[in-house]
Amino acid sequence: MKFIDAKFIGSYPDYALTPDKKLPEIAIGGRSNVGKSSLINSLLRQRKIAQVSKTPGKTRLLNYFLVLGKNSKEILHIVDLPGFGYAEASIELRKGWKKLVEDYIEKSGNLRGFLLLIDSRRGLQDEELQLLEYLALNKRAVGVALTKADKIGKVESAKVIRETVKSLSSLGSNNYYPILHSAKNGVGNELIWRWIFERINDEG
């Protein structure tokens, strides 16, 4: 299976309002300013399909992108989730974002995989580990991508991979292997697509 094109469908303030097409969905989440929009643009080979902002916490809705295959066949939705960990957001706003994301994770019957993005310069932190535990409780398949890999060297890359694998092993699973990704040069796109298609073709 191969994707040919993609388009932005819309932004939704509530899971109940999202498209009801029964297409498999891959969610992309992570801390504010981790590079979700940049990764989506790189993955879908469109420079501005997802709006990139230097201001943390800009994404406050469920943003849906439709991936199309040969003959414009609808393959899946990619869902850009609001980032977490933005300290300057009000408590009420952060609670709203948390509820929006949790409703989606717990209620979506189409969600086939959650791609967690981690800034390669800072590594895996407690908030990401808590999210991974939450996803495991909800029996969600998880992939991990280390973003902004072009900003660190080979030695640092190897180190952050080792440290991330070690931290992930504390969850009692060997299923998470981090993918180094760079939106600047597309490194990691092929591996992420492979992971995505494995998820949407997994009937189990």
Burial 88-116 (b: 16+ CB within 10 A, else e): ebeeeebeebeebbeebbeebebbbbbbb
CA distance 164 to 58: 27
> Which pLDDT does position 38 carry in this prediction?
93
Domains, the chain, ordered by start: 5-200 (3.40.50.300)
Q: What is the C-alpha to C-alpha distance for residues 137 and 23, in angstroms, rounded to an integer?
A: 23
Q: What is the mean pLDDT of residues 145-161?
A: 94
Mean pLDDT of 23-28: 96
pLDDT at 56 over 50: no
Pick the closest to residue 185 from 144, 149, 132 (CA basis): 149
Lowest model confidence (mean pLDDT) among 14-23, 132-141, 164-173: 164-173
Q: Residue 156 — left, alpha, or beta (φ > 0 → left; ψ -120 to 50 → alpha)?
A: alpha
Per-residue pLDDT, 204 = 43
Per residue in 64-98, pLDDT (tens digit) is: 999 999 999 999 999 999 887 644 444 555 566 67
Give the dihedral sign, CA 166/168/174/178.
negative
Greater model confidence, 58 or 166: 166
**Percent of the chain scored above 70 by pLDDT?**
86
pTM given for the model: 0.89
Return the structure tokens found at 79: 């869902």
Question: Would you say residue 59 has pLDDT above 50?
Answer: yes
The predicted structure's pLDDT at residue 51 = 73
Tens-digit pLDDT profile for residues 84-141: 764 444 455 556 667 889 999 999 999 999 999 999 998 888 888 889 999 999 999 9
Give me the residue label for tokens 């660190």. 152
Contacts of 130 (CB under 8 A, 6+ apart): none
Q: What is the mean pLDDT of the chain?
A: 86
- The letter for the amino acid at 157 is S
Question: Could you tell me which residues come within 8 angstroms of residue 151 by beta carbon, excluding any fewer than 6 positions away?
Answer: 120, 121
pLDDT band of 167, cuts 50, 70, 90: confident
Sign of CA dihedral 143, 144, 149, 153: negative
